[in-house]
C-alpha cells in the first residue's frame, strides 16, 4: 500500500542544504518546534513537552510550528514558508510528526504513524495493530491487544516508540522489556504463563538432564498430576525434581496440582 497523501518523506544525503544543521531532540530529528495547543509553549516534540509539563500534548491538535532556523511561527507544514528549510524528511499532517526518513507510514486504523516500510506490515483487524507480514495467518489474535499496557513495565504499548514483541500466546511486551525478561531467565508470558518463545531445544536439553539424573528409589514410582501452561492439558506424569513433562505437548512449562500418592493437592510456584 502506498504512503498516504498526508504523509511525505524526502531523502537528504546529509543534514546540509535544506535540512540545515542536525536539529531536534533525543526523540526526533527535526528543524522546528511544535506550539503546544494546550499551553501555547514551544517544544521540539510532544514527548519533551509531556516530560516537563503536568499534562499531555495532543499531537493531533497541533496547528503551528516555529522554524528552528529563522524562528518564524507558521502553520504546521513540512517546509518553512520563510526560509524554506525542510523541517523533516518525513512529515505526517495528521500526527504532525516530523522526523528523518525511517520509511514511516500513517495507519488510519491504528490512528498513528508506524515505522515501515509499509509493504512489510499489515493491520490485523482483531488485534487492532500493525504486524509484520510474516505474522499474517501465523499469530494468535487477541482482541485490541495493543490497547493493554505492557505487563512488565505497565507503560503504553500502542503509541510507544519502542517496538512490540508478539508472544506465541498473542500478548504483547515492549521489545526492550522482553529482552530484559529473557536475560533474567524468565521465559513465561507475565499474563498467561505460556512460554514466551520456542522452547523445544530447551525441553530436549531437560530430557537429557532428567535421563541422567534418576530419582532416589523411594520416588521412582511417584506420579503427580500437572497442568500444562502451554497446552492447558491435565496429565498424570512421573515426578522429578528437575521438572514434570507434559505428556500431551512435551513442554516442561507445567505446574503440579496434585500428588497422586497422597491425593494432597497443592499449587506450586512455577520454577
CATH number at residue 247: 2.20.28.10
Q: Is the pLDDT of residue 7 over 70?
A: no
Share of the chain above pLDDT 70, in %: 86
pLDDT, average across residues 161-166? 94
Q: Is the pLDDT of residue 10 over 50?
A: no
Same domain? 145 vs 54: no
Q: What proportions of the chain, in percent to the nearest 5, are helix, strand and coil?
A: 15, 25, 60
Residue 204 lies in a domain: no
Nearest Cα to Cα of residue 215 among 237, 234, 236: 237
Contacts of 162 (CB under 8 A, 6+ apart): 174, 175, 176
Whole-model pTM: value is: 0.78
Same domain? 29 vs 89: yes
Domains: count for the chain: 3
Of 58, 78, 106, at which residue does a domain stop?
A: 106
Q: How confident is the model at residue 221 (pLDDT cuts 50, 70, 90)?
A: confident
155 or 3: which leads in pLDDT? 155
Residue 45 lies in a domain: yes
pLDDT of residue 14: 33
Residue 216 lies in a domain: yes
Q: Is the pLDDT of residue 176 over 80?
A: yes
DSSP for 97-108, please give it: EEES-S-EEEET
What SS3 state is found at 268? coil
Of 67, 82, 106, at which residue does a domain stop?
A: 106
CB 104 within 8 A of CB 94: no
Same domain? 34 vs 89: yes
User: Which range is least confidently modeled, 17-31, 140-154, 223-237?
Assistant: 17-31
In angstroms, rounded to a whole number, what is the distance separating the alpha carbons of residues 35 and 179?
36
Q: How confident is the model at residue 226 (pLDDT cuts 50, 70, 90)?
A: very high
Same domain? 169 vs 88: no
Same domain? 16 vs 39: yes
pLDDT of residue 220: 86
Same domain? 215 vs 131: no
Domain that holds residue 77: 7-106
pLDDT of residue 259: 57
pLDDT, average across residues 165-192? 96
Residue 194 lies in a domain: no
Burial, 150: exposed, middle or buried (Cβ in 10 Å; 0-12, 13-18, 19+)?
A: buried
Same domain? 179 vs 214: no
Same domain? 100 vs 133: no
Question: How many residues would you count in the chain?
Answer: 271
Residue 69 lies in a domain: yes
Please, what is the average pLDDT of the chain?
A: 88
Residue 88 lies in a domain: yes
Of 84, 106, 128, at which residue does a domain stop?
A: 106
CB 139 within 8 A of CB 164: no
Residue 192 lies in a domain: no
Residue 135 lies in a domain: yes
Amino acid at each position: 500500500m502506498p504512503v498516504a497523501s498526508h504523509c511525505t518523506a524526502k531523502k537528504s544525503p546529509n543534514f546540509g542544504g535544506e535540512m540545515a544543521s542536525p536539529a531536534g531532540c533525543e526523540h526526533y530529528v527535526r528543524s522546528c518546534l511544535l506550539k503546544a495547543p494546550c499551553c501555547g509553549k514551544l517544544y521540539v516534540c510532544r514527548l519533551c513537552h509531556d516530560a516537563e509539563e503536568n499534562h499531555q500534548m495532543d499531537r493531533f491538535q497541533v496547528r503551528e510550528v516555529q522554524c528552528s532556523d529563522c524562528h518564524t511561527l507558521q502553520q504546521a507544514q513540512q517546509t518553512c514558508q520563510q526560509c524554506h528549510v525542510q523541517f523533516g524528511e518525513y512529515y505526517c499532517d495528521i500526527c504532525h510528526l516530523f522526523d528523518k526518513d525511517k520509511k514511516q507510514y500513517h495507519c488510519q486504523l491504528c490512528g498513528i504513524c508506524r515505522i515501515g516500510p509499509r509493504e512489510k506490515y499489515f493491520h490485523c483487524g482483531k488485534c487492532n495493530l500493525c504486524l509484520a507480514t510474516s505474522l499474517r495467518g501465523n499469530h494468535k489474535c487477541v482482541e485490541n491487544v495493543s490497547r493493554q499496557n505492557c505487563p512488565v513495565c505497565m507503560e503504553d504499548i500502542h503509541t510507544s516508540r519502542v517496538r512490540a514483541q508478539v508472544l506465541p500466546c498473542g500478548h504483547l511486551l515492549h521489545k526492550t522489556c522482553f529482552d530484559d525478561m529473557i536475560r533474567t531467565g524468565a521465559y513465561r508470558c507475565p499474563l498467561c504463563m505460556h512460554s514466551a518463545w520456542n522452547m523445544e531445544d530447551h525441553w530436549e536439553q531437560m530430557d537429557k538432564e532428567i535421563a541422567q539424573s534418576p530419582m532416589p528409589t523411594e520416588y521412582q514410582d511417584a506420579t503427580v498430576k500437572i497442568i500444562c501452561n502451554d497446552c492447558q492439558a491435565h496429565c498424570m506424569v512421573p515426578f522429578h525434581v528437575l521438572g514434570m513433562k507434559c505428556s500431551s505437548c512435551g513442554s516442561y512449562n507445567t505446574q503440579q496440582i496434585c500428588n497422586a500418592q497422597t491425593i494432597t493437592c497443592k499449587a506450586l510456584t512455577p520454577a
